Amino acid sequence: MIITDTRPVARTLLRSKPIPNTRQDRIMGALLGAAIGDVMGNAITGLNQEEIREKFGEWGISSPPYESLVSHNFQLTLFALDALINCTQKSQRLSVKEIAECLIKCLKEWETVVNHPNLFHGINHLADRNSVCTDFMKNYPLWRFKRPGIKTSKTNISDQINPMLIALLLCANLKTVQEVSLELNKAFGTTEIGLDIDLFTSLFSNTESLTKENKVKGLSVMCEKINQSKRPDLMGMIAGFEHGAKYGIKAFKQIWYLRIDAMILNEQMGWRVARNIKSF
């Protein structure tokens, strides 16, 4: 009898670190921060303030729980990054409409993986040549494990648009992100704007050096936003992204990276974004 190994992939510290205060550092920090915020937000999703204090203490959740799994929201962010990189390699200059079409195709492929996590495993030769996501992303071993926040047909459409816009923020300027957001809302037949794009103004051009004081203050603000939000799952990604984009990978306690199952994939995607995409 053959027994398959169903244990999660081992977690290690970052294998290679970018130079501090560089664009690469802030991209990596934003992506890793979004993952940290995602698992923190999902840990308290569905809990009221009293239940949060009872479970995590007076100040609420203040760090990622051990053995954390990134949610389907963050999984979609990684799929969107993979699709954007793949599309730019096929065509160096993408219009707003082409970016939106790329993300819509990505959403459909992501939904297939979520609903049928074993469908793509070991069948690379059957992959769709018109696919926007790579076989590497679809076949990634972690996706065979159940994720928090499973999507249903009743899911608010903004819950699907927002994770993709977070990915796009790593690749495009704010004007492009706003235009793509409107294009996606138009395609899905909704008037929802999605993310407040102005929140991310000049994040990657921040020149403030990381100190112990602003690191502690930034983490405190991030945790407060997550604990006080009515949508901690989404706010976690936004707050973590914002803090990481300002200060890079050292904005978070290094031990936190060991608690997240997709940390190695995050690192790989961060390097891919910086190497393959300058800006749309």
- DSSP letters of 44-93? HTT--HHHHHHHH-TT---SPPTTB---HHHHHHHHHHHHHHHHHHH-SS
Task: For residue 36, give both structure tokens.
Answer: 């940290």
Task: Let me know how long the chain is.
Answer: 280
- Measure CA of the first residue to CA of the last residue in the chain; give whole Å: 52
pLDDT, tens digit, 9 for 90 and up, residues 23-80? 888 888 999 999 999 999 999 998 899 999 999 988 999 999 988 889 989 999 999 9
Task: For residue 137, give both structure tokens.
Answer: 């992303």
Whether the model pTM is above 0.75? yes
Q: How confident is the model at residue 143 (pLDDT cuts 50, 70, 90)?
A: confident
pLDDT, tens digit, 9 for 90 and up, residues 85-107? 998 887 767 899 999 999 999 99
Q: Cα dist. 116→93, 113, 135 in Å?
A: 33, 5, 14
Query: What confidence score (pLDDT) does residue 208 get?
Result: 73
Distance CA 87, CA 202 (A): 26
Distance CA 99, CA 87 (A): 8
Query: Is the model more confident about 178 or about 12?
Result: 178
How many CB atoms within 10 Å of residue 85? 21
Query: What confidence score (pLDDT) does residue 4 get?
Result: 34
pLDDT at 166 over 50: yes
Q: What is the mean pLDDT of the chain?
A: 81
Pick the CATH number of 20-277 from 1.10.4080, 1.10.150, 1.20.140, 1.10.10: 1.10.4080
